[in-house]
């Protein structure tokens, strides 16, 4: 509320951050789809690090979704964390340890905020490891033939291509933020969290519905 109401242009920063997660996952799923199509999973080390990266990004996004502390935030956190209680013997103790109490409360919010801040640095380090393994094996060649001949330099050809792609993504993000900022959100999340009132439909963000 403080960012949206008191900080100059805070509303646009908040909406760029919230909708930026969706843009990030669009790129991520395109990357995973490309990897599956070209059989990149045969490079086990690179692929496994990529899977860990995906899980870390999903964890970061989930914790970020809890932070607004609306109805969907609260009940989403309650439902997802309670899934861990299915683990035999240690399940309930693990859930209470994550909660910092006996239910999702302010202690949980504080922990999720800390992890939401720390995890991106871990993700950046994992991305570097991912690239190191990729450079060890080499990227997949879609044509499946030797590409020792007819090579072109990375710059300026691919730098221009990457910059153009980035600009198109930023344009799409800004159109989303400026015209329909709540398109990918849930209206229930504008209602403050209330443990006594369960929403009729608790559903996750679209990028968790894979």
The answer to the question of residue 26 being in a domain is yes
The answer to the question of residue 183 being in a domain is yes
The answer to the question of residue 151 being in a domain is no
Query: Considering 139, 151, 155, 182, which one is annotated as catalytic?
Result: 139
Query: Considering 17, 147, 162, 182, which one is annotated as catalytic?
Result: 162
- 185 sits in which H/E element: none
Q: What is the pLDDT of residue 210?
A: 67
Q: What is the pLDDT of residue 9?
A: 93
- Which portions of the chain are predicted below pLDDT 70? 139-149, 210
205 is catalytic: yes
pLDDT tens, residue by residue, 43-76: 899 999 999 999 999 999 999 999 999 999 999 9
Q: What is the pLDDT of residue 179?
A: 97
The answer to the question of residue 145 being in a domain is no
The answer to the question of residue 147 being in a domain is no
Q: What is the pLDDT of residue 144?
A: 63
161 is catalytic: yes
45 is catalytic: no
Q: What is the pLDDT of residue 141?
A: 65
Residue 195 belongs to what domain range?
A: 2-139+166-208
**Residue 38 and residue 142 in contact, taking contact as beta carbons nearer than 8 Å:** yes
Q: Count of alpha carbons within 13 Å of 87, Cβ hemisphere only?
A: 11
- 189 sits in which H/E element: none
The answer to the question of residue 155 being in a domain is no
CATH at residue 204: 1.20.810.10
Between CA 104 and CA 11 the distance in angstroms is 27
**Residue 189 and residue 24 in contact, taking contact as beta carbons nearer than 8 Å:** no
- 3-state secondary structure (DSSP) of residue 49: helix
The answer to the question of residue 158 being in a domain is no
Phi-psi region of 144 (alpha: psi -120 to 50; beta: other; left: phi over 0): left
Domain total for the chain? Answer: 1
162 is catalytic: yes
The answer to the question of residue 202 being in a domain is yes
Q: Is the pTM of this model over 0.85?
A: yes
């Amino acid at each position: 509320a403080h960012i949206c109401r008191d900080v100059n242009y805070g509303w646009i920063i908040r909406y760029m951050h919230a909708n930026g997660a969706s843009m990030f996952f669009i790129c991520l799923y395109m990357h995973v789809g490309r990897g599956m199509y070209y059989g990149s999973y045969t490079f086990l080390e690179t692929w496994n690090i990529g899977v860990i990266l995906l899980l870390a990004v999903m964890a970061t996004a989930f914790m970020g979704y809890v932070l607004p502390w609306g109805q969907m935030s609260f009940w989403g956190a309650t439902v997802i964390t309670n899934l861990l209680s299915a683990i035999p013997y240690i399940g309930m103790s693990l859930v209470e340890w994550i909660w910092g109490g006996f239910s999702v409360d302010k202690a949980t919010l504080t922990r999720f905020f800390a992890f939401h801040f720390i995890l991106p640095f871990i993700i950046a380090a994992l991305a570097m490891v991912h690239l190191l393994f990729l450079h060890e094996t080499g990227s997949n060649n879609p044509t499946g033939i030797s590409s020792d001949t007819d090579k072109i330099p990375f710059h300026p050809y691919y730098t221009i291509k990457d910059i153009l792609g980035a600009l198109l993504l930023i344009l799409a993000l800004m159109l989303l933020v400026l015209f329909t900022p709540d398109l990918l959100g849930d209206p229930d999340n504008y209602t403050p969290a209330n443990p006594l009132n369960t929403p009729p439909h608790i559903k996750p963000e679209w990028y968790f519905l894979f």
